[in-house]
Amino acid sequence: MLIDWFTVGAQVLNFVVLVWLLKRFLYRPVLDAIDAREARIAQQIAAATATQASALRKEQDFERRNEDFDARRDTLLKQATVAADSERQRLVAAAREAADAVAMQRQDADRHDASNLGRALADRTRAEVFAIARRVLVDLADTPLDERIAAVFLQRLHALEPDALTALASGLDKNHPRAIVRSAFEPGVAQREILRTAVVAALAPRQKEATPALDVVFETASDLLGGVELVVGGRKLAWNVDQYMDALEQVLAPALPATKTDEQAVPARSAAAVPEAAT
């Protein structure tokens, strides 16, 4: 069989031309389209990867913020619990202090009421005892009670030791020596003269020679509850029923603790230079 080389060459040339035409007008656009699609796919994959990474970062940031929030919430809750407990303790302490203050005020009020009751009872007792004693002595004595009281006071004055009289006279003012005779009754003229003479006789000899004459002043003091007081400056010589009532009150005080307070205690007569007479 004879080979037509011209035909073979033409066919080869036609095949080469066909391949070039296919490559030029068919394969290249297809390849370019495939490359473009692969590029788009790669871009989409990169974008998806970036989006996924961003979402992961956001998720991690959210979780971290959520953990921080939980931690802050727990801290704030603990702080609020501590603050509430502290405020509760403060309110309880304030309520307890207020209750204690109210209790103290009530106790003070009770003590004040008891003090007033005891004082009123003591005053009423003194007045009643004195009234009874006055009526009894008036009924039994052959002289008026006031004169007898003055006589007893004069006896006590005459019975004083010289040192006691000197101490009493030391209270006289050098420029204006004055002695005050206080009594629960208004002495008569004769009684005034007797008392003035007795006081001058007791104190005048113990005055300094340069001092003026002793002035004796009489005052009526119903608070003495019967009796006579000789006041010389800041010193005092007294005899009255109030003394006996004070002594009675001191004796009865342990038996009446509810009506006896420190404020009701009979004050010491520190101003008196001469101890007051007692029966």
Q: Report the 10 Å Cβ neighbour count for 119.
A: 15
For 44, 58, 103, 155, the CA distances from 52, given in Å and listed in that order, are 12, 10, 74, 125
pLDDT recorded at residue 126: 67
Question: Are the beta carbons of 232 and 172 closer than 8 angstroms?
Answer: yes
The count of residues in the chain is 279
The Cα 118–Cα 265 span in angstroms is 11
pLDDT recorded at residue 208: 63
Q: Give the angle subtended at the CA of 57 by the CAs of 56 and 60, to the nearest 5°.
A: 85
Q: Which of 173, 183, 244 is nearest to 203 (CA)?
A: 173
pLDDT per residue over 30-43, tens digit each? 778 888 888 999 99
Say what the pTM is: 0.41
Question: Are the beta carbons of 220 and 184 closer than 8 angstroms?
Answer: yes
The Cα 204–Cα 274 span in angstroms is 17
Per cent of the chain over pLDDT 90 is 8
Of residues 20 and 138, more confidence is placed in 20
pLDDT recorded at residue 266: 38
Residue 272 has pLDDT above 50, yes or no: no
Question: Are the beta carbons of 227 and 193 closer than 8 angstroms?
Answer: no
Q: Give the angle subtended at the CA of 78 by the CAs of 76 and 80, to the nearest 5°.
A: 65
Write the CB contacts of 279 (distance below 8 Å, at least 6 apart in sequence): 244
User: What DSSP assignment string belongs to 166-221?
Assistant: HHHHTTS-SSS-EEEEEESS---HHHHHHHHHHHHHHHGGGS-TTS-PPEEEEEE-
The Cα 175–Cα 19 span in angstroms is 161
pLDDT band at 199 (very low <50, low <70, confident <90, very high): confident
Residue 255 has pLDDT above 80, yes or no: no
Residue 131 has pLDDT above 50, yes or no: yes
pLDDT per residue over 44-97, tens digit each? 999 999 999 999 999 999 988 888 888 888 888 889 899 998 999 999 999 999
205-217 mean pLDDT: 74
Residue 6 has pLDDT above 70, yes or no: yes
What 3-state DSSP class applies to 141?
Answer: coil
